[in-house]
Chain A
Amino acid sequence: MLMLFTANTGVKKKKKRSYREFGMLLILVVLCIIFAVLNHRFVSAENLLDMFRNTAILGILSVGMMVVILTGGIDLSVGAVVALTGMISAMLVRDHPGIPVVVALLVAMLVGAVCGMINGLLVAKGRIIPIIATLGMMNAYRGLTFIISDSAWVSAHEMPTGYKALATGGIGPMSNLVIICVVVMAVFYYFLTYTKSGRSIYAIGSNAEVVHITGIRKDRILILAYTILGLLAGLAGMLWVSKFASAQPDTATGYEMNVIAACVLGGVSIAGGSGKMQGLILGVLLLGIMENALPLVHVSPFWQSFIRGMIILIAIIVNVLIKRRSTAQILKRREI
């Protein structure tokens, strides 16, 4: 059974894999050249490091979102979970400045995982369609954040230095944020490609009916997927607060759209069952580069919005065209 899905999603396409992500890579390179010409500061080492650091949290969240989207689901509550877990960890270190940073981190991840598990239970056991279940929980988690914080912010001067240092520190020029993001991506690349649970996630998204016959415990895998996203949202929530040194109840409002956009740009199919880490990284980078470079280009903020939209649209079209061609080639080969 496992072989079946491995064959379906991995091995056979392996030869064409590089072509599938080629479109996005091409767009990235062209964009970088354009931005570098418009403002040579774009390619300065400092700016590139800033860009990676600012994109790391998006990267972490996108990995989790990809896992959920692969099952054919979606999670709109991710921004609210970032706010809730960030607020809880910030209030924890504000009220108990002595506790180790790692405890605050674990608490945030635990709360995030519980939030994710609730989403998963609603989807798997409650049989509520994911977009509605998570829309409901998005409001619930956001409301909870306002309630526990009493609508107040936790400010920089109330946070211990160690807590803020987690995001500002790093090894050499590489920020801790980037390192954590890379580790998360590597772990989940392995998980999705080589573990039984990982392959089951693809299987559920590809064909939920057949999965039932094969004996994959669909409910369990679904709950696992949402819990993974919750866990990563908890991690991202704590890192967010640590990075910006401020916890607000309205943190990351609407951020789920950026996360979903990164997945879609990275070639993750909203229908489920298809999408790879390599593509996702390119999608995250594209959004990160736009976030960083558009302010560097001297155009009005209204044009910035328009240009951002156009780039996303062009990227999607090019990506789809190239994918369609490579899929056609694969199918042709299969007939022979």
Chain B
Amino acid sequence: MKKKWLCSLLVVMLLAFTLAACGGGEDKDADSDAGADTDQVAADGDVSGKTFAIVAKNTGNPYADKENQGFEDAIAEAGATSIVRAPEQPTAEGQIQIIEELIAQGVDSLTIVGNDVDALQPVLEKAMDAGISVSSADSGVNPDSRQVFVNQAGTTEIGVALTDAVLDLTGGEGQFAILSATSQATNQNAWIDAIKELLESDSKYANLELVKTAYGDDLRDKSVSETEALLQSYPDLKVIVAPTTVGIAAAGKVFTDKNLAGKVELTGLGLPSEMAEYIDNGVCKYMFLWNPIDVGYLAGQTAIALASGTITGAAGDQFSAGRLGDYEVVSAADGGTEVILGAPFKFDTSNIAEWKSVY
């Protein structure tokens, strides 16, 4: 008998909660209608009275500082107000609290550099329900939590940049090898596939020979062993491409220790701080990564386009992103939509000193 009582009590409580939750939802819908109204007023593209917020991963992060700077530039160009916020530690909890505050503050747009893919969903849905346009940049959140994602790394663009670098460094022909992260790494595998497709489809790469794809597992010691093995096994190797920070820096260290500058070339994707040493000593003539200022700037332009109603975040939407040119919203692999920044940024002796302290 006691159990039955308990059961019914729980059911009643559950019902009560559900009803209460529904009630709350209705209130929010009313708010979002009001928000949509104001958006429509500004649909001609003028966002000068609006407030745009970006929530970065954490404070004291030089990479995020550059990204925020780009964001602020874009918002300032449109004559609107920007708010830059970040939690002290890179946690989802810290970001949730800040987003709650921003919703209460009544911002018009929210750009989130997510510390977690899924954890921010409730609070971001709350923001969207409140009529705030929500986009994510650099580090995405799940498709339900955003209208559009600003992706810093287009797979094809990175494939083209790396293959062109090999073409340039080999002088048009010769053997090259890839030093990747783990054999299961999603990003790296997509980039490697892009390189392989280019080698097959474009005749200008016809004289390049990819001899081996080695996996350093993003471990220093294994990456070093794999680099040494590549050098031993392929005496005619002209270039190693490492599309991963640990790999390219480990290879840079091996090249430095073996005095290979000018004999074998190194390129790929790497953090400027890790690669500064090897760009300065000539082991790596240039390598790539995205420019955080541009990521932030595009995130700002995307936020403006969303808030002004130029785009809704649906695939096929087009907008003008100031100094970066025109962009189109495309479907993303996770089921949502994204805007892809474009070709990666090139780091060489001319700019590495400026960037090595940034990230």
- B234 nearest in chain A by CB position: A41
Given A46-B232, A295-B214, residue A156 in contact with residue B253 (CB < 8 A): yes
Considering the complex, which residues of chain A in the window 207-245 have a beta carbon less than 8 Å from any beta carbon of chain B? 240, 244-245
Cβ-based interface call for A173 (8 A): no
Residue from B90, B212, B220, B249 in contact with A251 in the complex, judged by beta carbons closer than 8 Å: B220
- Cβ of A47 and Cβ of B220 under 8 Å apart? no
Residues on the A chain within 8 Å of B280, using CB: 157
- Cβ of B250 and Cβ of A244 under 8 Å apart? yes
Cβ-based interface call for B338 (8 A): no
In whole angstroms, how far apart are the Cα atoms of A46 and B235 in the complex?
Answer: 13
Chain A nearest Cβ from B266, distance in angstroms: 14
Chain A nearest Cβ from B331, distance in angstroms: 32
- B356 nearest in chain A by CB position: A157
- Cβ of A295 and Cβ of B273 under 8 Å apart? no
Considering the complex, which residues of chain B in the window 245-263 have a beta carbon less than 8 Å from any beta carbon of chain A? 246, 249-250, 252-253, 257
Residue from A47, A156, A298, A302 in contact with B249 in the complex, judged by beta carbons closer than 8 Å: A156
Judged by DSSP, the binding face of A is helix
Residues on the B chain within 8 Å of A240, using CB: 220
Residue from A41, A50, A150, A248 in contact with B233 in the complex, judged by beta carbons closer than 8 Å: A41
Cβ-based interface call for A9 (8 A): no
Proximity string of chain B (214-235) to chain A, C-beta cutoff 8 Å, 1 when within and 0 when not: 1100001110111011101100
Cβ-based interface call for A22 (8 A): no
In whole angstroms, how far apart are the Cα atoms of A248 and B229 in the complex?
Answer: 24
Given A155-B273, A156-B278, residue A246 in contact with residue B221 (CB < 8 A): no
- A40 nearest in chain B by CB position: B232
Cβ-based interface call for B328 (8 A): no
Chain B nearest Cβ from A132, distance in angstroms: 27
- Cβ of B277 and Cβ of A156 under 8 Å apart? yes
In whole angstroms, how far apart are the Cα atoms of A151 and B183 in the complex?
Answer: 25
- Cβ of A295 and Cβ of B226 under 8 Å apart? yes
Residue from A47, A157, A251 in contact with B228 in the complex, judged by beta carbons closer than 8 Å: A47
- Cβ of B233 and Cβ of A153 under 8 Å apart? no
Given A54-B224, A301-B183, residue A296 in contact with residue B233 (CB < 8 A): yes
Considering the complex, which residues of chain A in the window 4-19 have a beta carbon less than 8 Å from any beta carbon of chain B? none
Residue from B225, B229, B274 in contact with A156 in the complex, judged by beta carbons closer than 8 Å: B274
Cβ-based interface call for B158 (8 A): no
Proximity string of chain A (40-65) to chain B, C-beta cutoff 8 Å, 1 when within and 0 when not: 01101011001000100000000000
Given A155-B277, A157-B356, A245-B277, residue A295 in contact with residue B229 (CB < 8 A): yes
Residue among B183, B220, B226 facing the most chain A CB atoms (10 A cut-off): B220
- Cβ of A168 and Cβ of B249 under 8 Å apart? no
Cβ-based interface call for A292 (8 A): yes
Residues on the B chain within 8 Å of A291, using CB: 221-222, 225
Residues on the A chain within 8 Å of B233, using CB: 39, 41, 296, 298
- A255 nearest in chain B by CB position: B221
In whole angstroms, how far apart are the Cα atoms of A158 and B277 in the complex?
Answer: 9
Cβ-based interface call for B60 (8 A): yes
Residues on the B chain within 8 Å of A302, using CB: 183
A sample of 5 more A-B contacts (CB under 8 A), given A245-B277, A292-B225, is A47-B228, A156-B278, A246-B253, A291-B222, A292-B229
Interface residues of B (CB under 8 A from A): 60, 90, 183, 212, 214-215, 220-222, 224-226, 228-230, 232-233, 246, 249-250, 252-253, 257, 271, 273-274, 276-278, 280, 356
